[in-house]
Amino acid sequence: MKFDIITLFPEMFKGPLSESIIKHAQERGLIEINFHQLRDYAEGKHKMVDDTPYGGGKGMVLRVDVVDAAISNIKFLISKKNPKAKIRTILLSPQGRKFNQNIAMQITKYDNIILICGHYEGFDERVRNLIDEESSIGDFVLTGGEIPAMVIVDAISRLIPGVLADESPDNESFMEKDEKGNYLLEYPQYTRPLEYKAKKVPEILLSGNHAEIERWRTDQMKKRKS
């Protein structure tokens, strides 16, 4: 899986995407993350990527011609390396469909994901003609699309075989549903000490009866359903 992130602030990604599991996944060649400075695709001496909105109003709006140049160039480079690559272009904005685990699993079908990070007062509306989908990570407004991009890269990457090494996401939150189709949250986990501040580990987990333990865990997941 390859991610191409279009952003005005590539330095923001250094910490979150260069540590822990995501770092190791990149080192092992399971994922590849490339950053593209949007200003590199702007013309003129000052490399202007935004302009004042028609009709008046506060703030600045990202230009459609600059964003189009960035997307087109990245798609050209991807297709040059892999003509059969399945590409998905995602615009990050508050107006997008709310991102969830099911969407993350659907996106793993693609070879290359292009993520476009917004800033300022948003995008020229015509940018929406250049993308495959629009995504939001929640009903709130952030200063830009960089943090949502980090969230989406992390959520998708850990679903790729081998990224979690010997671990499996199968029993995690949002990976299973109950009989009514509600997503289930992961069951409670315990480790040493056996008792802490008068709170004990449930006896069922000490029984050694794996069938009963699985039933208990399933019941707990249903109680915690989202």
Residue 72 phi, psi (nearest 5)? -60, -45
Catalytic site residue from 10, 53, 134, 158: 158
Task: Tell me whether residue 224 is one of the annotated catalytic residues.
Answer: no
Catalytic site residue from 121, 133, 134, 176: 121
Task: Tell me whether residue 94 is one of the annotated catalytic residues.
Answer: yes
Query: 80-113 burial by CB neighbour count: b if 16+ within 10 A, else e?
Result: eeeeeeebbbbbbbbebeebebebbeebeebebb
Cα separations in angstroms, 69 against 6, 11, 66, 76, 133: 11, 21, 5, 11, 18
Task: Tell me whether residue 178 is one of the annotated catalytic residues.
Answer: yes
Residue with tokens 């008046």, as numbered in its chain: 56
Is the Cβ–Cβ distance between 210 and 195 less than 8 Å? no
Q: Is the C-alpha dihedral spanning 57, 61, 63, 64 positive or negative?
A: negative
Task: Tell me whether residue 212 is one of the annotated catalytic residues.
Answer: no
Catalytic site residue from 10, 16, 53, 94: 94
Radius of gyration of the chain (CA): 22
Catalytic site residue from 40, 111, 178, 212: 178
Assign 205 to helix, strand or coil. Answer: helix
Active-site residues: which are they? 94, 121, 158, 178
